[in-house]
Structure 1
Amino acid sequence: MQITLPRIGTVAAWRQQVRKLAAAGIDPQAVIWSVGAAAPDLFATAAPAPGVATPLMLSLEAVDGIEMALLHSDPERFSRAHALVLRLSKREVRWGDRSDPLMRRLLDQQKAVGREIHKMHGFVRFREVSPPGANRRAFAAWFEPDHPVLEAAAPFFARRFGDMDWLIATPTLTARCEAGEMRIEETEARQPPPKDAAEELWRVYFASIFNPARLMVKAMKSHMPQKYWKNLPEADLIPDLIRSAETRVRAMHDPSAPAPETLPGGRMRKKLR
């Protein structure tokens, strides 16, 4: 049995389908899940033979955790969650029991999705795209998440930037907020917006808060993974800031040592005696 979920509202659509499947007693192994347009499966059937219905009874914590894990990019996540919902309802496994391989995999994916949402909140960089004479300022951003988390992450921006118009585009979906109303739509223009004057503000800010005495490159790359750097205007400063860190620390402790001079754009060079 082949079920194709929409790209927008994927989790809600999956939830509705699982209720129907559980009521019909359909085995999770008899269902093929996909998102968006899917190629037909030669072995798929219109409706597998029904079995014994399973009443769905899950804790709120389990529901929230499963729906979070469904935002992972793993193509098997829908089938795995379907099977786990039935097992939880039958009391065959307890929510949070990491000794169960299926549960452990889902919990790990829930955690990965939570990290991705957190990174999106921190690493989206808006660029101004206000048309001439507009009454409200407008901003646009491009972000490339590892997992389809836009629908879960976008309300944060709606609460914080409700007084301006903005959009955040990802390779698949775009969140658009106009006059305080937010909507999700499929992405049409799969490219970053043009650069604006705020690019240099990000660079100046990042250079000013960079503390060479507390530099730990491994920790920095853990909190600010390199996969995000290509869309961060301040990221091209990082190699020079790392290279000059030792010299700057020596200058902080030894006033007679050559101090680095800040060049336009935040780059460093040594002063010559």
Structure 2
Amino acid sequence: MQVKLAGQTDLAGFRSEARQLLAHQVPPEEVQWELEPPGDPFTDPQLPQASRPRNVARAATAIVPASFTRLCEFVVLHRDVARFSLLYRLLWRLVHEPNLRNDPLDADMLQAQHMAHAVRRDIHKMKANLRMHAIRDGLDQPLEVGCYEPAHHVIEAVAPWLAKRLAAARWALFTPERSVRCEEGQLLFGPGVPSGELPGNDAGEAQWLDCYERVFAPHDRSAAHA
């Protein structure tokens, strides 16, 4: 059975689909998780998908410990293509093997915890090492820009933290997978910039501005004509 998720970090979709699979007693070995690229690169990946089913029976998942829910939030950000298969297998086992939560040496749980640790470390490194550069945009307004190449899918997790910590009212961050800008506290995600095209830390203002306009100007033009 193929199950489609709306992008690399579709945690809401995974939870919804997993509840349905559990309700219908579909074992992990019969499920193939397929990750679809978002149709609109500017869609916020944190927003629930409108097509997700609601009112699915939750009796089975009610016994899942809260610690596993938190674990999922980090594991889905890992770059391992088999992460959703691992999480559903663990969910299935937690429901059908209640003693699993008390087994600190279980191979599946250890793997998930290792992946979560790698994601947490990647988030910490990004927060600690990111450098922002002050420039002026095409309208001569102040703008801070930066680029980073994270090891995992963590930009959506780091962006809200940056929105609270950066003093600049307007900023933009580019990564190979996704880009994000902030306007007065409002986040907008956009397409990524290939590694070879990311401005270096010694790039001039013109290079940064060109990158910013290539990523976000198409969206601005579309919004203006909407």
Q: TM-score, normalised to structure 2's length?
A: 0.71
Query: Are 2:98 and 1:102 equivalent residues in the alignment?
Result: no
**Helix, strand or coil for the counterpart of 1:168?**
strand
| d(CA) in 2 for partners of 1:152, 1:76 | 20
Cα deviations across residues 164-189 of structure 1 (Å, max 9, x unaligned)?
21122221111221121013233256
Equivalent of 1:183 in 179, 182, 188 = 188
* 2:96 matches 1:90: yes
Task: Count how many residue pairs are aligned between Structure 1 and Structure 2.
Answer: 181
Give the distance between the partners of 2:153 and 2:85, measured in 1 at CA. Answer: 17
Query: Which one of the candidate residues 119, 141, 156 is aligned to 2:146?
Result: 141
2:66 to 57, 60, 66: 60
Q: Structure 1: which 5+ residue stretches go unaligned?
A: 38-52, 198-273
Match of 1:172 in 2: 177
Q: TM-score, normalised by structure 1?
A: 0.60
Pair 1:74–1:18, CA change in 2 (3 A) = same
Aligned-partner SS, 1:13? helix
Contact 2:175 2:198 in 1 (8 A): no
Question: What amino acid is aligned across from residue 175 of structure 1 in structure 2?
Answer: V
Which of residues 117, 122, 127 in structure 2 aligns to 1:121?
127
Structure of higher RCO (CA pairs closer than 8 Å, 6+ residues apart): 2
| Residue identity opposite 2:132 in structure 1 | F
Give the % identical residues: 28
- Structure 2: distance between partners of 1:76 and 1:8: 11
Q: Does 1:5 align with 2:11?
A: no
Q: Cα 1:103–1:160, aligned 2, differ >3 Å: closer, same or farther?
A: same
Larger radius of gyration: 1
Residue 98 of structure 1 deviates from its aligned partner by 3.0
Aligned partner of 2:118 in structure 1 is 112
Contact 1:25–1:54 (CA under 8 A) maintained in structure 2: no
State the Cα deviation string for residues 86-106 of structure 1 (Å, max 9, x = none). Answer: 211234343373311111111
Residue type at the aligned position of 1:106: A
Contact 2:9–2:153 at 8 Å: present in 1 too? no
Give structure 2 stretches of 5+ with no counterpart: 38-57, 206-226
Alignment of 1:66-77 (within 5 A): 66-77=72-83
